[in-house]
Amino acid sequence: MGKFFLCSCILVLLALPRTLQADVFGSGIRFTNPDGSSFDGSVTDGTGLTIHFILNDTASSVIVRIHNASNNNVLHTINLTNVPQGPNSTTWDGTGGATGTYYVSIEAGRTPRSSTSYSLIRFINTADLGQAIFSRGVDLVRNQNNPNFGFVYASNTGGDLKTGFTRYTAAGDPAGTDPGNPTLTPSTSVGDGGTTPWSGSPSAPAHATIDYLGRVYAVDHPKGEVWRMDDNDSPPYRVVSGVQSTRGLAFTGTDEDFKLYIASGTNVLRANLGTRDSLDTPVDTVAKLEMLVWDLVLDDDGNLYANLKSGTGFDGQFVGATERYNISGTLPITRQSAEWSIPWPGQPAGLGLWSGADTTTSDDDILYIVHRAQGTEADGNRHGIYSVKDLGGFTQTIEHIFHPTDATPFGGTGTTVNMRADIAIDPTGNIILFENGFEFIYILSPPSTAQTVSYTTKSAKSFSLGVTSVGRLEVGTPPRDFVLHQNYPNPFNPATNIEFALSQSAQIVLYVFDMLGREITVLADGHYAPGSYRVTFDARNLPGGTYFYRLQSGSFVETKKLVLLK
């Protein structure tokens, strides 16, 4: 692949590979009994605990560590070797386990595939699976505190799949509502039997983007709207409306500082959402760029990068540019204030950004651009993915890192990329390309000069020992409020029952802590339907004394005391 940097002319330059990126990582960490049933909170019955995880690539070594959640100390370690790509599991026999709350970390490592070039981890022909993608945007969850960490989400407008959001594992396997299918059923369009009024092909939903909490956004281009899906089981809802010709999305900030950036025709807008679920203030105009803004990203210093196209239709036309802007000053900025511009004879499509090892500065950021070449270009050899380094320097180092024909040894037959192709960059720097002309998914790993690369993932959820499964109670009258009942018996030895009631579906956590406020164990943590529930707390491994248990759900918090006699 050719390498060059941009100034006022194009010169050839050999770019040195970065060593900060990893390759393989674990995701989808969950816990069950060895028979696959929900974990019963006991390892003393001889069954143990099975830990499930997904690898996006093969790993020469995986270290599974079980940590005490109260102090992060490692209770037990399991060493695995030559672990395959995809779903895996290992079982802990319970050695050293005592009443308490625990979490798991997965450290996956391998030898880099290459020290000089990007390598194809996996190639998937989705049409051969009967699940041809009509994707209009792709992103993934990067927050390890979210159970969906590492999962890939795409907006889809039909084809073999329904119109709505689709979900895939970090290895590219379908992970939707139904086994073996990527479609998330709650997100589907009215025309496909769902509840979301997507405009449909070719322009809605489009430009999927995921925020710091793992919430998935997409635009409805004809309606000028932005929609958000908060979790896999809830339908999307409208968060921004009244915006013309919505396309690419990006975000900055968290909590009250959360801001959503929206490509709108030839402009870039900013919705200052904060913690609100819908915008009730006017949008800010950040940039007026004269050309159609197709996609955008912001780097670790808040600089704006935009892919620009000629034309006014949904897909735009050939001849475009990728440009960088400083938006920290007076707004709106214009094209004349671009810090640099990369001209494209074809169409720049998706944009992605690798934030590097230091997320407080853009010095080690890498920009990735999907480029659709014109048919008149020699052999179409400019199709594919380009990387841009030295983003804040006087010159930018540009490298053509992937062409669809690179997948030929893997069975790929693609020779071009579609104007709607999009990419996402995973937490270790791998690139996921959804190419919806040939309906292919490509996953690429970056080069590294390190002898080995590794990445550690912490489980988003914990598990507790000394607690039985939460059971639902059959009651005559549905609960009218959220209620936490007094445990019984109380005082108790060694076990007691705790009941709670929910008047509506909610995310809850029920946990026990001691007189010093130290968490002892989590009794329930998850999304529960309306109803009454009972959980048994087994404290046989705890010293006698006074403890407390607390139920939290949104603004509802209730705490009660229990006494263990020994």
Lowest mean pLDDT among 26-30, 185-189, 200-204, 340-344: 200-204
Query: Which sign, positive or negative, has the C-alpha torsion 31, 36, 38, 39?
Result: negative
8 Å CB contact between 487 and 498: yes
CATH number at residue 512: 2.60.40.1930
Q: Which residue segment(s) compose the domain that 105 sits in?
A: 1-114+450-465
- Residue 401: name the closest of 430, 427, 375, 377 by CA: 430
Using CA atoms, how far residue 548 sits from 68, 481, 486, 555, 556, in Å, is: 19, 21, 11, 19, 16
Q: Give percent above pLDDT 70 in the chain.
A: 92
User: How far is Cα 200 from Cα 550, in angstroms, rounded to an integer?
Assistant: 45
Average pLDDT score over the chain: 90
List pLDDT tens digits, range 337-356: 999 999 998 899 999 999 98
Shared-domain flag, residues 63 and 134: no
Shared-domain flag, residues 281 and 177: yes
User: How far is Cα 441 from Cα 34, in angstroms, rounded to an integer?
Assistant: 33
- Token pair in block for residue 362: 């853009």
DSSP assignment of 249-314 equals EEEE--GGG-EEEEEETTEEEEE--TT-SS--SPPEEEEE-SSEEEEEEE-TT--EEEEEEESSSS
Shared-domain flag, residues 357 and 500: no
Using CA atoms, how far residue 298 sits from 188, 191, 206, in Å, is: 29, 35, 19
User: How far is Cα 118 from Cα 429, in angstroms, rounded to an integer?
Assistant: 11
Shared-domain flag, residues 434 and 492: no
Shared-domain flag, residues 104 and 185: no
User: How far is Cα 99 from Cα 75, in angstroms, rounded to an integer?
Assistant: 12
User: How far is Cα 299 from Cα 322, in angstroms, rounded to an integer?
Assistant: 14
List pLDDT tens digits, range 426-462: 999 999 999 988 899 999 999 999 999 999 999 998 8
Of the two residues 525 and 292, the one the predictor is more confident about is 292
Predicted TM-score of the model (pTM): 0.85
Quote the pLDDT of residue 295: 97
Shared-domain flag, residues 93 and 132: no
Q: Do you find a cis peptide bond into 427, omega within 30 degrees of 0?
A: no
Shared-domain flag, residues 280 and 395: yes
8 Å CB contact between 157 and 218: no
DSSP assignment of 488-505 equals BSSSBSSEEEEEEEESS-
User: How far is Cα 492 from Cα 549, in angstroms, rounded to an integer?
Assistant: 14
User: How far is Cα 214 from Cα 227, in angstroms, rounded to an integer?
Assistant: 14
Under DSSP, is residue 186 helix (H, G, I), strand (E, B) or coil? helix
Lowest mean pLDDT among 93-107, 277-291, 459-473: 459-473
Give Cβ neighbours of residue 8 (< 8 Å, ≥ 6 apart).
none
The residue behind tokens 């927050």 is: 143
8 Å CB contact between 144 and 26: no
In the predicted structure, residue 14 carries a pLDDT above the cut 50: no
Counted domains in the chain: 3
Shared-domain flag, residues 76 and 213: no
Give Cβ neighbours of residue 555 (< 8 Å, ≥ 6 apart).
none
The residue behind tokens 């939707």 is: 176
Shared-domain flag, residues 488 and 425: no
Query: Which sign, positive or negative, has the C-alpha torsion 411, 413, 417, 421?
Result: negative
Long-range contacts of 237-245 (CB under 8 A, 24+ apart): 237/277, 237/278, 238/278, 239/271, 239/273, 239/277, 239/278, 239/279, 240/271, 240/273, 240/278, 240/279, 240/283, 241/279, 243/269, 243/283, 245/221
User: How far is Cα 295 from Cα 208, in angstroms, rounded to an integer?
Assistant: 11
CATH number at residue 226: 2.120.10.30
Shared-domain flag, residues 84 and 126: no
User: How far is Cα 541 from Cα 239, in angstroms, rounded to an integer?
Assistant: 49
User: How far is Cα 51 from Cα 83, in angstroms, rounded to an integer?
Assistant: 14
- Token pair in block for residue 552: 């939290």
Lowest mean pLDDT among 2-6, 36-40, 341-345, 529-533: 2-6
Shared-domain flag, residues 217 and 312: yes
Mean predicted confidence (pLDDT) in 83-105: 92
CATH number at residue 91: 2.60.40.4070
8 Å CB contact between 221 and 312: no
Return the half-sphere exposure (C-beta side, CA atoms, 13 A cut-off) of residue 71.
Answer: 4
Shared-domain flag, residues 383 and 503: no
Using 50, 70 and 90 to split pLDDT, how confident is the model at 8? Answer: very low
Count CB-CB contacts under 10 A for residue 36: 9
Q: Which of 465, 496, 513 is the last residue of a domain?
A: 465
List pLDDT tens digits, range 397-410: 999 999 999 999 98
Count CB-CB contacts under 10 A for residue 11: 10
Phi, psi of 390 (to 5 degrees): 55, 50
Mean predicted confidence (pLDDT) in 177-203: 94
* Beta pairing, strands 284-288 & 333-334: parallel
In the predicted structure, residue 161 carries a pLDDT above the cut 90: yes
Query: Which sign, positive or negative, has the C-alpha torsion 142, 148, 154, 155?
Result: negative
Looking at the chain, how many residues does it have? 566
Of the two residues 139 and 525, the one the predictor is more confident about is 139
Strand partners, 259: 252
